[in-house]
Structure formats: structure tokens, C-alpha cells
Chain A
Amino acid sequence: MNRLTLALAVAVFAWLGTVTQAADTYTPGKPVRGGFKAFAHGFLENNCFDCHDADAAKGDLNLDKLGPVDETNAAVWKSIWAQVTLQEMPPKKKSQVEIIDRLRFSDWIVTELQRVMKDKGGFQAHLDPNKGNFVAHDLLFGSLPKGVRLVPTASPARIWRVTPQEHITRLNELINTEPAFDPAKPGLRTRGDMVPTNHGGELKLYFGTDRIIRWEGGTVAYATAVKSVPGVLSSKRKHGLENYPDFYTVNSSEATQILDKAEDILRYMAYGPMSLVGFPEQITDDPKTYDKIKPKGDIRGTPIAIVYNTKIVRPLTPIHDLMKEEGVTDERLRQTVDFLFEAVTFRPPTQKEAADYLQIVKDSIAKVGKENGVFMGLSAIFLDRDALFRPELAASGKPDAYGRVMLQDWELGLALNHALSYIQPDPQLRKAIVEGHMRTREDVRREVTRMLTNDNIRKPRVLQFFRDYFDYDLGGYICKDAKALASSGAITGRGPTQHYRSMFDATASTDRLIELILEKDKDVLKELLTTQQFVAENNDGTYFGRKNSPEERALAIAAKKIADETQDKKEAAEVEALEEALSELEAKVKADPKNKDFRKSLDQKKKTLAATKKRFANAKKRRRGGGNVNVTQANISGSKIYARVSRRTFGRTNRPDRTLAVVPEGQRLGLLTHPSWLVSHSDAMDNHAILRGRWIRERLLGGGIPDVPITVDAMLPDEPKNTLRERMRVTRETYCWTCHKKMDPLGLPFEIYNHAGLFRATELNKPVDASGEITDSGDPALDGPVENALEMIEKLAASERVEQVFVRHAFRFWMGRNETLNDGPVLQAAHKAYRDNDGSMKELLTSLLTSDSFLYRKVGQSDPLKK
């Protein structure tokens, strides 16, 4: 062998070695090499053609002629991706694919779909939080097979659009002063809490409601007369995590609306209620002074129907000072720009930003004068990129060997702040950022520990996680059929409006219950799933009550009749006694007409009799119309607490008063059995066992459900005389059952409740069948039949796997993306922190927020599709 031949042989050997190594190792995130022929066809041939070639074509699927990914077969490839990734295919009875081969094939499909669909709407399914469970749980929390090589993790550099709730809360800070946290009355709305939705579930910014001392007309008139503006940023309103960075942008319609509302806000910042009224006299501490000049006629529902007090409660800002002064100076304008920029972006402007906006304001003033120019010019700041998107670009740091840069200073400080809060960083965090103490993992740990232990720093984002995770806040938005609702026992002849309001109240109650559990910070998930407590509002005696069977209803009617008659008799006797006393007095007066004492007593007695008769008549009327014989009420007794509600927006709604009560024994167990969750997972007519089962499968067991094929007509038969379970027989068709077997047996145990969330022992006059089964959970100890939801929840709440799945969802919420295998160590550490600290949410959060996934951003990524 000459030297050249030897050199070539070494080179070939080395190359072969590389190929062998590449074939044996798998690095998550690294693009898979090979085209359809070289890579994918072999996989299909080895694993799929047995059943899906031209001869077999099982399920009418022939993959023989599928060919490379293209626009027309993308749907089939997407389906293959889901089936292979979820380990549904090849079927369990067939020989199984090596894990690495499965992972590689799955990645290849995603890359190809992204490439092919790039200009045709794109392919993002793998980024959807509902597909987060497509990463096998055991690979994240168990041992990895040989050959899987993880790399240090990071999240992508990105911008993150604020949510409608964050946006409204941010703007609310400009015009309303919310009360400080009161440790004696925790639960009441305070500064830093999210702005609650109003009586109808609409997210609105209200102006000046804290100064209203009188209005004309009733509840509707009030709701119309007060100034409010709805949120303008769009949001996906559906089950699950709502807020990944890649979900949203801001469109032109939203931008113009923000600009309009910005002027309203700025005027209120400058002038307060004077910007809302038709007459200056409407601002007075003595409404009678306004009456002197008030226009005649019916002014209900108009801004001139409102009287505001004179106490200034809004924050007084440089905008107020600027408009109070004569003329304008550059210094005052600059001060105003600086203030407003930080108020809406949460960071000070750079010199250039300040100069740019100063110039815009000055130009506007030059064109239309101070009054209009200031408001018009300043409104531009509300549309700054960083007022609507929070950047996590890590542009200034030096990448490490893996192309990662750690966030620092304002980006890191605001990322941490955003993890917990909707308002500006508190002074201590701001100081840390400005003084260069937000640059290390320890810096983050210090601040997050401090913030988590300080109740004055409100943490609406933590609560939002639980809303997103449990989906208990949708009940008021589920449209109910009036008859179906009436037959549930939830309402008694008052129509469904009260039900919707009760559901919004229920959301606030469940919020509070979660906060109480978080305060204890012990076995948080288990407590949420199994607590015996509930936060009750007046109507919850019904909602947490038990629906009566026909026999019980008959007994209740009879008992009510007896009770009513007894009370009628008692009241009649009281009236009779009064009448007798009156007759005696009349006789005395007749006998001694000049006796003043007798005459006085007689007058008093007559008044007492009249008042008593009126009182009893009203009570009788209430008795006749009241009482819900359809329901055995739950006992609401316990300590008095508060829930967070909007300020008065309509009628006698939005009451914060609550009772911390205990659920009726043997009927409820944790949040999943509370009406807020049950109704959120129901439809107009009935329970939604599929949705409930899906929730258990995905959020507790970590299972994945492929998308419903477009060929499926997802309709249950309309059979009023059959139970839901009976009507769901259609899902047992082979074609449907493949997916439905993952959901239905987990959702039907909740049939012990009706679609308004009331407990029931019978359905259609027969004992309720709430049996179900946990199958293929990944934890053999969990699998098996269950009698009802209570038994199922008890089993699930004790499971370590369920805890881990909870941690996965927390990861997704706070990282704003789905986990990858590279995040496995982060997830394991977070779960360990949770478990080692007796189920502490604080420790779980601290672990996540000091992880590489949170701190590092991958920068300088080239387009993988161009490779």
C-alpha cells in the first residue's frame, strides 16, 4: 500500500466512522439528513407497508404511492407524523421501531412539512401547546436510550406580544389607583391584580368609576353611562394555554383602535372626570348643586347622568402637570415622554427613543396646537414595539459554544417580572436592573425568591397559569339552552342570565380557592385535585347542591307546602294578635277620647299593623316564588372571605363577599368536581364527556390526541330520552374509537354531575352510571376501572406521573413553548424541587425561572429550511 492509498483508506475509514456515529446518535433539534428516498421510504417500507400498501390498505390508507412531502399529501404526512410520534403506529402487536429511529423520522417529517408549506400557510402543529405531549413522557423523566445526546437547552430569541389582560391592566395603571394589598382582607382586588372581566365576562377598561357618587336610573343606565373601552388585542379564546409568543401579532385595525383609546386615556390622565362630563357642575361633592343646572328630561344612560366627587384619586403624572401649565417647554415634554414610555413599555427609553417621540409630540403641537398636539403626539408611544411586544432578543451578549446567550439587565428583569406580574417591576427589581444586578442565575434566584414571598407583589400570571391549565374560567361563556338549564335545577324561572353571572362569580371563587391553596404551598396539585373546601357565593348552595330525584322533589314540594303553611299560620296569628290589641286600644280611645296616651298608642299600633301586614305579604310572595324544590342545597357556612371581582359595572353584581365552606360529603373532590370546571367542560344541552376525558388524558396523564380527521362528522344523536353515555355509543365505531378510547372512559365518570355542575344520583329516573376506566396511562398502577370521578381523581392525585405532567404544563406556560428532549433535565429538576419541598409551587417556579430554558436564548439562528 503506497502512502496515497493508505491516506485514502484512512480517510474512508474515518468517513465511515462518522457515518456510523451519526447513524447511532440522535441529537434533538439537529436537522435530520436525507431525502424521501434515502431516508423516509425505508422507514415506511419497514414499518408501514405491511398494513398500508396497495394490497392491504388498512383504514383505506395506501402509503405505497405517497412519495415525498408535498402540498397535496401534507395532510397525510401530518397524520403519519402524529401516529408515529405518539407511538400509535406501528400498532403494539407489530414489531416496534427503535426509539431513535422513531424520533428521527418524526423530526424529518416536521422539517419537510415546514419546508414544503413555508409559503402556503406554514406548518406549526408541532409548536401548538396541545401537541406538547407528543414528546414521550418517559423520555423526559426516564432514562434515555443509548445514542440520544442532549445539548444544553435554551429558548429561541423572540418577541412576545402582551395579552389583552396584561394590556388592559397596564393601561389601567395610568388612569386608576387600585388599593394596596390589605393582609387583613386578602382576596380583594388590589394594585397589581389583573383587571377582572365585567358582569358579562367582557374585558374592559373603566374610567372614573371610583369617583361616581350618583347616577340616574337603574343598572342598565349605569352600565351605559359610565365610560369604558373594551380590550382591542385579539386572543384565541379556547381551552388550553393561550399565550405562546408565536401566537399573536397586532393588526392594523387593533393599532388604530389603540391609538384612539390612547387619546382618551391621556385626556383622563390630564383632566380626570372632567374629560368625561358634559358640565363641570357634574364634579361636586353635593349633587344638589348639579341639579340646579342639570338638563331637564330623561338623561339616563348618558354621561351627563353621572355625578363625580371632587377627590382626586387617579395617579397624578407629568401629563397632568404638563396640561395644567401654560405653554410647553422641552424639559417638561421630555419628562412626559420619559414617564409615559416607561409606563407603557416598563423600561426607560433610550436617548434616541426619547428624542424620536419628543420630536413627534413637538411636530403635532406645531400643527394643531398644544391641546390636541400633546395628546395626539404622545399617543404614538402606545404603539411602540415594546409597548405591545416584550423583547427577549439577547442581542448584546456573546454566544457560548452552543450559540446561547443569557438574557440580562432589562430583558432579564422584565422576563422575570412578566413571569409573575402584569405591572411595572417593583422599585427593588428596577434598582437591581439599573445597577447591573440582573445578570446571573443567582440574581434571578434572589429576586424570584423575594417576589414569591412578598404578598404585596401581586402575581396574576401565576393565577393565569392555573386558569389556562384547568380551564375553569370558561363557564360563563358556554351558551346554555334555557330549557336544558331549567331542567338541570340550577335556575328557577329567572332565565339563564343569572346562570351566566353565577359562572363568572364561580370563576372568581375558584381563583380565590387556588390562591388559598397556594398560600399554604403544600402538595399544591394534590390539594387542588382533592380539596374538600370550596369558596362559595350565595347561589352556590344550589350549584354545589344535589339534584333531587322525582321522589325527592315530591317530598320537597310537600315539605315546602307544610313549611309555608306553618309560617302562614304563624304570621296570621301575629297579625291577629296585633288586630286584637288594636281593637282593645280603639275601645279605650272610645271610652276616653281625651286621653292623649291612648290616642298615641292607637296611632302607633295602626302603623305597626300596616307595616307587619306588608312585611308578611312580601315574605309570602317570596316563599311562593322562591325555594328550589329541584335541589337539596349545599350547606354554606364557614369563615367569611373575599374574591376578586370588577368594580360595579351593572346591577347588584360584582360582589366580593364569599364564604369558605366545606363540600357535601361524598359528592365532591377538588376543582374538577366544582361547577366552574364542570360547566366550562359542558355544552348547551349536556355534559361534554369527551372534552372532560381529553382534559384528564392530556393535562394529568400526559397523553396526546391526534387532530380529528376532517372526514369525521362529530355529532352525537339527538335523543332526549337517552343518557349521554347511551348517545355516545357512536364513538365506539372502530374508526372513532381509536381516539375516543383515550377520552371517553375518562370523561364519563363525571356523569355524577349534570351539565350545570349539580351532583346527581339519578339521570332520566334511573341510577346514574358514572363508571369509567383509566387505560394506557403509562403508569400501570393507575390503570383500571373506576366507579366514578371521585375514585378516579383520588387515584390520579396520588400519582407521581400526574405531578410530572403538571410540571410539563408549568414549563410550557412559563417558557412560552413546548418542551423538547433537551429540556428533560430542566423538567426533572423542577419536579424534584417540587417533590423535595412537599409539593411547593414556589420551589417549582424558582427552579423553572432559574433554568437554562428560561435564562438562555438561542441567537443567530439561520433558517434551517435554507439548508
Chain B
Amino acid sequence: MLQGMAAAAVTAPLFPGLSQAASNKSKPKRIVFFLQNQGFDPATAIPSGMKSSGSLAKAKLPEPIEALEPYKERLHIINGLHGTHTSPSHSAFFGALGGYRGSDGVPPSGPTIDYTLSKVLPETLLPHLCIGMDSLENMKAKPTVANLSASGAGQPIFMHSNPNFLYQMLYGGISQGTIRKRHEAQSSMFDRIEQLAAVKGGSLPLAEKQRYGQYVQGFNDINGLRERLGKVSSHLRRFAPEVDGGYANPKFETDWHDRLLDLGISALKSGITSVLTIGSGRGEIFGSWKGVGVEQQGHNLGHMKQPNNPIWIKIRQYNSRMLAKLVQELESVPEGSGTMMDNTLIVYTSNNADYQHTSGKNWPVMLLGNYDGAFKTGCFTQLDGKRPINALYTSILRASGVEVDRYNMSEQMAAKFDSGTGPIKEILI
């Protein structure tokens, strides 16, 4: 259940984000990656007639993203990045957030930017949370899959798709009924496993004790996290979503999508995590959105043209409502002299670049939030297609205080795929 927890969490302050916000000395940051599958056609987001970079102030957002109209001053639409090196046709899978070659069945060849940021940002109890949205059948039969995030080469990070399990993980200690019982049973089992593991380490030679100790420490971390979550249960109660019928008896897949989003938002607001990755379609080329009136599902959605397509308008509108909800919720929490949203960056894009069978020559992105004043907002930026998505990730790392010129791209690759170095000047303040 507790995928993605880093061993380092054990030494972290309980809620560094909140404590820092309270002291108002430094501003914590948080980041959300929202990847819709099947491609993000720029025509579904760029205001009509807008051919070159400029302010969005007087522009009207297209129908698919009109839910973001009230948040236009926080929005930055970027067109003209590329990902030709990521093999994004159908999906770049891990390559979308890694900025390296990915494809179906290809294991990650390095860490992905969400994981890297989780190591950079101030530590939280759960440094990185991934949620994945799919058809109900897929989410039930495969409640965890790993397609988008990785902590290193050959080290995929799983995303959660069953909100019941995720709720148990985050709020098992304050839950009731079945979730509570399962939480207690699992807690007890984990305690016992740790004890057994520790006993078997007692007789090891000195050199091996340290290595095996890391294994035992892993259980200590897991159990410690649970305990610490338990200790701050009164704090968590303020943020934990209400468990309604949609958890146990979803009518549509979107019932679970909504609840997964609620859990993700609650994890951000409560300070449990500072990095949230949302995979709508879970990085693959299927997915289902019957709950918003899209009867068709799966691969054919990607074969359709997206602009002016009622189906894709509905899906993008649903995405946009989710984005708007994220902004609203984060705006509702005071932080420093502003709100949580002031220190947040939401990156919306597709793991499939601009369309399903793309070569990745264009990789449109929308940013929401200025990340504590680091990113320009309220504008549209047209780039020349010569800088890779890696440059966007470099920009975020720079804005997070990491002095890097490239992310997951060697100089040799850059000679071929990047016309510049360092962050993208056009998008940073």
C-alpha cells in the first residue's frame, strides 16, 4: 500500500511545509503533474487567433479549457517544446516525465522529474504520491500500475488507482469500518514483519549487518510513517475526505477519478506530500470517461482529431474542472502572506505529446501557478520547437533551487536535441 515512501522520510519533521508556512520565514513549494493520455492538441487550449506569444488577458479560452477562465492570470500556455527523442507515439510512458526514450514495455532508463523534485523539495512524510485514473475494470483488476514515474533506471514507481486502498494508506488511522479493520490488520502484520526481520539480522557478520540493516530500517520507516500519521490524526481529520458510497460502489469510473483527486488534494493540503503525479489514462493508450458522457473508450479516442470533437471537448473539460478544483482548494489554504497556490506549480500535459501517433515534434504544456514568483503567468508562449521537454524540467529544477543546465540529457544528446542550455528563458521571470 505504501509505495513510494522514501527511507529518508523517517528523519523528516512531521509537516515541514506547514511549520515553515506558519513561521513565514521561507515558503514551501509543491508541484503537481497532470498527464492526460492520447495527446494534448494545442488547438484545444490556445485561444483562437493567437499565433505568437502574448498575454491571455484579453483572450477567451477555448471551450475545452473554459473552466480555467477564472484562473487565467495563473495560466501559462506553452506551445513548441519537443520530445522527438522520447518516442512518444502511443505514449512515451516513463519517457514523458523522464525526458528519455520510452515506449510500451520499455523500462525506465533513469529517474523522472516528479521523483527528482520530491528529493529536492522540503521533505514531507510522503515525498511523492502518484495516482492513476482508468476504466473501472482496469482500476479494480490492476489497482497499482507503473507507467509514468520512476526513481531510477529500472525502478518504476507505482500509481494508486483504487481510492479505498489509498484512503487506507493515508487515513487508515482515522477511518472506520472495513478500512479501519484492514488498516489495523496490516499495521499489526508490518510490526511483526519488522520484528522477524530484525531478529534475522542479529547473527549477521559485521559487514552484512549494515546492508541488511537498511532492509530492516525500511520496515521501521513504514511503521514509523504509520505511527506519525496516527499521532497527527486530529490534524489529518481536517483534510481527510468523507468516505461516501462512491468509494465502495462507484457507478462510473469518474466516481473513482474524483475521489482519487480528492485524496491527492487532501495530501497536498494536509502537508503529507509536496509532489503529486496524476495519470489520467495511466500513461497508456486506453482510458474511459463514461461518467462525463463519453460512451466510447479506449484506443479509438486517440485516433480521433481532438479540435471541435465533442468527445475530446468533454474529456478536456473534465480535466480542466479537475485543474480548477486543484487551484480552488489550494487557494483556500493560507500560507505565508498568500495561499498554498502561490507556492505551487501545476504542470498539465500529455504523456503522448500533441496526438496519439505523434513524432513528438510539438509537446504542448499548460502551467498553472507561478511557483512562488518563478514562472511567468497569464500568457501564451510560442517556442521554436528546438528545445526538449527536458528543458522545462530543467527550468522547474532551477526554480526549485537546483543549479542544473540539463535534466536527463547528455551533452551528446543535447547536441542533437536541444538548441540551448539551462532553463527556458521565455517562461521564467
Contacts of B212 on A, CB cut-off 8 Å? Answer: 159, 249, 385, 389
Residue B412 at the chain A interface, CB threshold 8 Å: yes
B416, A685: Cβ atoms closer than 8 Å = yes
Cα distance, A383 to B84, chains bound together (Å): 41
Cα distance, A368 to B179, chains bound together (Å): 10
A383, B197: Cβ atoms closer than 8 Å = yes
Residue A683 at the chain B interface, CB threshold 8 Å: yes
Using an 8 Å CB-CB cutoff, how does the interface string of B382-423 with A read, 1 for contact, 0 for none?
000000000000000000000000000001110110000000
Shortest beta-carbon distance from B405 to chain A in Å: 13
Contacts of B214 on A, CB cut-off 8 Å? Answer: 249-251
Using an 8 Å CB-CB cutoff, how does the interface string of A335-379 with B read, 1 for contact, 0 for none?
000000000000000000000100110011001100011001100
For B288, the closest partner residue in chain A by CB is A302
Cα distance, A217 to B197, chains bound together (Å): 46
User: With A234-B152, A237-B154, A249-B211 in contact, do A201 and B105 touch (Cβ < 8 Å)?
Assistant: yes
Shortest beta-carbon distance from A752 to chain B in Å: 23
Cα distance, A395 to B204, chains bound together (Å): 9
A650, B104: Cβ atoms closer than 8 Å = yes
A158, B208: Cβ atoms closer than 8 Å = yes
Cα distance, A683 to B212, chains bound together (Å): 37
The contact of A251 among B7, B182, B411, by CB within 8 Å, is B7
Using an 8 Å CB-CB cutoff, how does the interface string of A143-182 with B read, 1 for contact, 0 for none?
0000000000000111100001000000000000000000
Which residues of A in the span 658-703 have a Cβ within 8 Å of any Cβ on B? 683-685
Which residues of B in the span 286-321 have a Cβ within 8 Å of any Cβ on A? 286, 288, 295-300
Cα distance, A363 to B85, chains bound together (Å): 52
Residue B5 at the chain A interface, CB threshold 8 Å: yes
User: With A158-B208, A217-B298 in contact, do A356 and B218 touch (Cβ < 8 Å)?
Assistant: no
Contacts of B5 on A, CB cut-off 8 Å? Answer: 252-253, 256
A227, B142: Cβ atoms closer than 8 Å = yes
User: With A202-B107, A385-B197, A479-B101 in contact, do A257 and B185 touch (Cβ < 8 Å)?
Assistant: no
A260, B1: Cβ atoms closer than 8 Å = yes
Contacts of A251 on B, CB cut-off 8 Å? Answer: 7, 214-215, 218
Cα distance, A716 to B158, chains bound together (Å): 38
Cα distance, A388 to B106, chains bound together (Å): 25
For A389, the closest partner residue in chain B by CB is B212
Shortest beta-carbon distance from A774 to chain B in Å: 28
Contacts of A302 on B, CB cut-off 8 Å? Answer: 135, 137-138, 286, 288, 297-298
Contacts of A253 on B, CB cut-off 8 Å? Answer: 3-6, 151, 157, 218
The contact of B411 among A255, A479, A715, by CB within 8 Å, is A715
Number of interface residues of B (CB under 8 A): 80
Cα distance, A248 to B211, chains bound together (Å): 8
B416, A481: Cβ atoms closer than 8 Å = yes
B286, A246: Cβ atoms closer than 8 Å = no
Shortest beta-carbon distance from B101 to chain A in Å: 4
For B100, the closest partner residue in chain A by CB is A479
Cα distance, A360 to B192, chains bound together (Å): 8
A217, B299: Cβ atoms closer than 8 Å = yes
Residue B200 at the chain A interface, CB threshold 8 Å: yes
- Give the contact stretch, choosing among A293-301, A536-544, A577-585, A608-616: A293-301
A367, B185: Cβ atoms closer than 8 Å = yes
Contacts of B184 on A, CB cut-off 8 Å? Answer: 367
Residue B188 at the chain A interface, CB threshold 8 Å: yes
Which residues of B in the span 218-254 have a Cβ within 8 Å of any Cβ on A? 218-219, 221-222
User: With A224-B284, A363-B189 in contact, do A303 and B299 touch (Cβ < 8 Å)?
Assistant: no
Using an 8 Å CB-CB cutoff, how does the interface string of A762-803 with B read, 1 for contact, 0 for none?
000000000000000000000000000000000000000000
Residue A304 at the chain B interface, CB threshold 8 Å: yes
A199, B207: Cβ atoms closer than 8 Å = no
Using an 8 Å CB-CB cutoff, how does the interface string of A273-310 with B read, 1 for contact, 0 for none?
00011100000000000000000011111111000000
Residue A100 at the chain B interface, CB threshold 8 Å: no
The contact of A393 among B85, B205, B298, by CB within 8 Å, is B205
Cα distance, A440 to B22, chains bound together (Å): 68
Residue B24 at the chain A interface, CB threshold 8 Å: no
Shortest beta-carbon distance from A667 to chain B in Å: 29
For B10, the closest partner residue in chain A by CB is A252
Residue A123 at the chain B interface, CB threshold 8 Å: no
Residue B206 at the chain A interface, CB threshold 8 Å: yes
A364, B137: Cβ atoms closer than 8 Å = no
For A713, the closest partner residue in chain B by CB is B411
Cα distance, A246 to B146, chains bound together (Å): 28
Residue A462 at the chain B interface, CB threshold 8 Å: no
B412, A684: Cβ atoms closer than 8 Å = yes
Residue A40 at the chain B interface, CB threshold 8 Å: no
Residue B30 at the chain A interface, CB threshold 8 Å: no
Cα distance, A407 to B185, chains bound together (Å): 39
A393, B203: Cβ atoms closer than 8 Å = yes
The contact of B218 among A248, A250, A395, by CB within 8 Å, is A250
The contact of B105 among A158, A199, A386, A715, by CB within 8 Å, is A199
Contacts of A259 on B, CB cut-off 8 Å? Answer: 1
B221, A252: Cβ atoms closer than 8 Å = yes
For A203, the closest partner residue in chain B by CB is B107
Residue B155 at the chain A interface, CB threshold 8 Å: yes
B106, A252: Cβ atoms closer than 8 Å = no
User: With A249-B211, A301-B284, A302-B286 in contact, do A380 and B206 touch (Cβ < 8 Å)?
Assistant: no
Contacts of A862 on B, CB cut-off 8 Å? Answer: 206
Residue B352 at the chain A interface, CB threshold 8 Å: no
Residue B370 at the chain A interface, CB threshold 8 Å: no
Cα distance, A235 to B196, chains bound together (Å): 25
Which residues of B in the span 94-120 have a Cβ within 8 Å of any Cβ on A? 100-101, 103-107, 109
Shortest beta-carbon distance from A360 to chain B in Å: 5
Residue B374 at the chain A interface, CB threshold 8 Å: no
Cα distance, A302 to B141, chains bound together (Å): 9
For B221, the closest partner residue in chain A by CB is A252
For B211, the closest partner residue in chain A by CB is A249
User: With A246-B211, A249-B215, A298-B297 in contact, do A234 and B141 touch (Cβ < 8 Å)?
Assistant: no
Contacts of A530 on B, CB cut-off 8 Å? Answer: none
User: With A200-B106, A297-B296, A368-B182 in contact, do A278 and B141 touch (Cβ < 8 Å)?
Assistant: yes
For A395, the closest partner residue in chain B by CB is B203
Contacts of A277 on B, CB cut-off 8 Å? Answer: 141
A260, B3: Cβ atoms closer than 8 Å = yes
Using an 8 Å CB-CB cutoff, how does the interface string of B167-197 with A read, 1 for contact, 0 for none?
0000000000010011011101100110011
Cα distance, A360 to B196, chains bound together (Å): 11
Residue B2 at the chain A interface, CB threshold 8 Å: yes
A303, B137: Cβ atoms closer than 8 Å = yes
A256, B137: Cβ atoms closer than 8 Å = no
Residue A198 at the chain B interface, CB threshold 8 Å: yes
A260, B144: Cβ atoms closer than 8 Å = yes
Cα distance, A395 to B104, chains bound together (Å): 47
Residue B140 at the chain A interface, CB threshold 8 Å: yes
Find the residue from B85, B201, B211 having the highest chain A CB count within 10 A.
B211
Residue A815 at the chain B interface, CB threshold 8 Å: no
A685, B146: Cβ atoms closer than 8 Å = no
Contacts of A496 on B, CB cut-off 8 Å? Answer: 87
Residue B76 at the chain A interface, CB threshold 8 Å: no
For A651, the closest partner residue in chain B by CB is B104
Given contacts A302-B135, A481-B416, 10 further A-B contacts (CB under 8 A): A158-B208, A251-B215, A278-B141, A301-B138, A363-B192, A372-B182, A376-B189, A385-B196, A385-B200, A500-B106
Closest 8 CB pairs of A and B: A200-B105, A252-B218, A301-B286, A367-B185, A303-B141, A385-B200, A200-B106, A479-B101
List 23 A-B residue pairs with CB atoms under 8 Å apart, sorted by A's residue number. Answer: A159-B212, A199-B104, A200-B107, A220-B285, A249-B212, A252-B6, A252-B221, A254-B218, A255-B215, A255-B219, A256-B3, A257-B3, A257-B144, A298-B300, A300-B286, A301-B138, A302-B135, A302-B288, A356-B196, A359-B192, A363-B188, A393-B204, A715-B412
Seen from chain A, the residues whose Cβ lies within 8 Å of a Cβ on chain B are 156-159, 164, 198-204, 217, 220-221, 223-224, 227, 230-232, 234-235, 237, 246, 248-257, 259-260, 276-278, 297-304, 356, 359-360, 363-364, 367-368, 372-373, 376-377, 380, 383-386, 388-389, 393, 395, 477, 479, 481-482, 495-497, 500, 649-650, 683-685, 715-716, 718, 859, 861-863
